[in-house]
Amino acid sequence: MNDCKYFSLALDESTDVMDVSQLLIYTRAVNNSFEVHEELLKLVSLHDTTKGQDIFNAVESVVSEHGGFDKLSAVVADGAPSMQGRRTGFAGLLRQSGVDCPILHCIIHQEALCAKSMNFSHVMDLVTKVTNLIRGGNRSLNHRKFVAFLDEVSAAYGDLQMHTEIRWMSRGKCLERFFALRSEIPVFLEESIRCDTSAYCSQLRDTDFLCDMAFLADITSHLNRLNLQLQGRGQTVSDLYAHMNAFNAKLGLFKEGFQSDRPNLAHFPSCEEMRKDAPECEETMLKYKAEIEKLQQQFKSRFQDFYAMQPRIALFTDPLSAAVSEQPPELQLELCELQADPFFQANRNERGISFWRLLPESRFPILRDFALSMASMFGSTYICESNFSMMKHIKSKERNRLTDETLFQLMQIGCTNIEIDIQSIVRQQERPQVSH
């Protein structure tokens, strides 16, 4: 932090096993050689309220130990009012303190909110109810019978998967299995479940309902694939923006597929299965064009913070093709030199940080400074979310008396990318034996 050129912050808050709010503050710092380091800066335990002022005070206190906000390039957080509020939220208070940098809403959170916009609750309600009837709560006998039944009929899967609302990607896996077992489930309900399941069985044999389930399973699978692409450490803002743009293009392709009288279902395998089973459902599938349009609209209305950065992202991604006249005046002269230099034209296959590392500081000080700022930016809070799982293991029911400082130190060791030679440290601390 002290030696870096720029740094950004990723903030997220969750409660531990003792209902104490824990604020994770991660930093992504880049030095003058374009070496990027993502490390846990601090874990702050908030024992009282978790308002925007509390979060701002905690972050300001931590960052002031490392030189303040002067090198801050961006902040990314979730969409909670305490984080993103323009007046009393962390974002608003940061602006009021004189810090002018992009404050981003985590791109993974926004993608998950887009996915929730599709109105297929009638499908998920039935899938959840039937799954709980077979393997939920204390229905272990039903569950054992169901697994044995699937094995007996050589079904595509050996069991159903539970769906949990807080695990965004579980819906896709749950739907995929449920649709694959759509023929076996009603047979099992009629033969083995004692309570009245006729309403469920009639729906599971209704072509329109199965078409809805097939479409939801396919589009959720595509959304899950995007979610996986947005995850992972070390991704730049331009990497995340590229994934999102690619998905926008895919949505346009999907919409075109549902415009003709005979839908093109090359990218919707479950819908294709339904068409083979019930050719008359083709007309029903034309209505899914409106659902894709709704999803497109969600992707256009959200991600405004990323769209606002689009010119900077485009310049960082491909400086040799950027329109010079559209760039800020302070970058234009150096950009002209860069684009005219045959050495850099020959190295245009290099992308992102690896390309910017080639620029000598003596010739391109302003462009390099711009690139360093972009390279330091987080685009999501993935690094926080993934390490909350570690926090749950460290401060478990059996170790719930850990102090705040000890929890932070254990988290530091568990989350760091720096290789730690524990045995060497222990040997250094051992006192030499005193002979008598």
* Residue 167 in domain: yes
Instruction: Say whether both 296 and 148 belong to one domain.
Output: yes
* Residue 215 in domain: yes
Instruction: Say whether both 197 and 237 belong to one domain.
Output: yes
Q: What is the mean pLDDT of residues 131-140?
A: 84
Looking at 304, 321, 340, the residue that finishes a domain is 304
Q: How far is CA 289 from the centre of its chain?
A: 26
* Confidence check: pLDDT of 140 > 90: no
Residues 6+ apart with CB under 8 A from 422: none
Tokens of 425: 């440290």
Instruction: Say whether both 37 and 88 belong to one domain.
Output: yes
Looking at 252, 285, 304, the residue that finishes a domain is 304
Burial-class residue 138 by CB neighbours within 10 Å (0-12, 13-18, 19+).
exposed
pLDDT, position 167: 61
State the virtual CA torsion across 282, 286, 289, 291 in degrees, nearest 10. -90
pLDDT, position 58: 95
Burial-class residue 55 by CB neighbours within 10 Å (0-12, 13-18, 19+).
buried
- What residues make up the domain containing 59? 6-102+377-415
Q: How far is CA 273 from the centre of its chain?
A: 30
* Residue 173 in domain: yes
Instruction: Say whether both 204 and 277 belong to one domain.
Output: yes
Q: What is the pLDDT of residues 108-127, one digit of tens each?
A: 999 989 988 887 889 999 99
pLDDT, position 283: 85
What CA–CA distance (Å, rounded) separates 72 from 162? 42
Q: Residue 164 — pLDDT band, cuts 50, 70, 90?
A: low
Instruction: Say whether both 78 and 153 belong to one domain.
Output: no
The CATH number of residue 56's host domain is 3.30.420
What CA–CA distance (Å, rounded) separates 5 from 1? 8
Residue 135 CB neighbour total at 10 angstroms: 18
Burial-class residue 160 by CB neighbours within 10 Å (0-12, 13-18, 19+).
buried
pLDDT, position 63: 95
* Confidence check: pLDDT of 169 > 80: no
Instruction: Say whether both 263 and 120 belong to one domain.
Output: yes
Instruction: Say whether both 134 and 248 belong to one domain.
Output: yes
Instruction: Say whether both 61 and 144 belong to one domain.
Output: no
> Phi and psi of 22, rounded to 5°?
-115, 120
pLDDT, position 4: 93
For the chain, the C-alpha Rg in angstroms (whole number) is 27
> Mean pLDDT of all residues in the chain?
90
Instruction: Say whether both 77 and 120 belong to one domain.
Output: no
Q: What is the mean pLDDT of residues 78-87?
A: 90
Pick the range with the lowest mean pLDDT from 82-96, 145-159, 190-204, 422-436: 422-436
Instruction: Say whether both 165 and 288 belong to one domain.
Output: yes
pLDDT, position 170: 75
Handedness of CA 104, 106, 107, 111 (dihedral sign): negative
* Confidence check: pLDDT of 435 > 60: no
Residues 6+ apart with CB under 8 A from 33: 357
Q: What is the pLDDT of residues 291-314, one digit of tens each?
A: 999 999 999 999 999 999 999 999
Residue 245 has, within 13 A of its CA and on its CB side, a CA count of: 11
* Residue 342 in domain: no
Residue 324 CB neighbour total at 10 angstroms: 15
* Residue 90 in domain: yes
Q: What is the mean pLDDT of residues 3-20?
A: 93
Instruction: Say whether both 250 and 394 belong to one domain.
Output: no
Q: What is the pLDDT of residues 209-255, one digit of tens each?
A: 999 999 999 999 999 999 999 998 889 999 999 999 999 999 999 99
pLDDT, position 178: 93
pLDDT, position 99: 92
pLDDT, position 432: 63
What CA–CA distance (Å, rounded) separates 144 from 215? 30
Q: What is the mean pLDDT of residues 18-42?
A: 94
Number of structural domains in the chain: 2
Whether 315 and 322 have beta carbons less than 8 Å apart is answered as yes
pLDDT, position 380: 93
For 88-147, give the DSSP string: SSHHHHHHHTT--S-EEE-HHHHHHHHHTTS--HHHHHHHHHHHHHHHSTT-HHHHHHHH
Whether 45 and 21 have beta carbons less than 8 Å apart is answered as yes
Q: What is the mean pLDDT of residues 124-132?
A: 91
Percentage, residues of the chain above pLDDT 70 = 97
Q: What is the mean pLDDT of residues 25-45?
A: 94
pLDDT, position 434: 54
Pick the range with the lowest mean pLDDT from 35-39, 243-247, 259-263, 375-379: 259-263
Instruction: Say whether both 121 and 90 belong to one domain.
Output: no
Looking at 253, 286, 304, the residue that finishes a domain is 304
* Confidence check: pLDDT of 408 > 90: yes
Beta bridge partners of 27: 9, 39
* Residue 344 in domain: no
Nearest to 270 by CA among 202, 226, 213: 213
Helix, strand or coil for residue 8?
strand
What does pTM read for this prediction?
A: 0.88
* Residue 426 in domain: no
Q: What is the mean pLDDT of residues 53-63?
A: 95
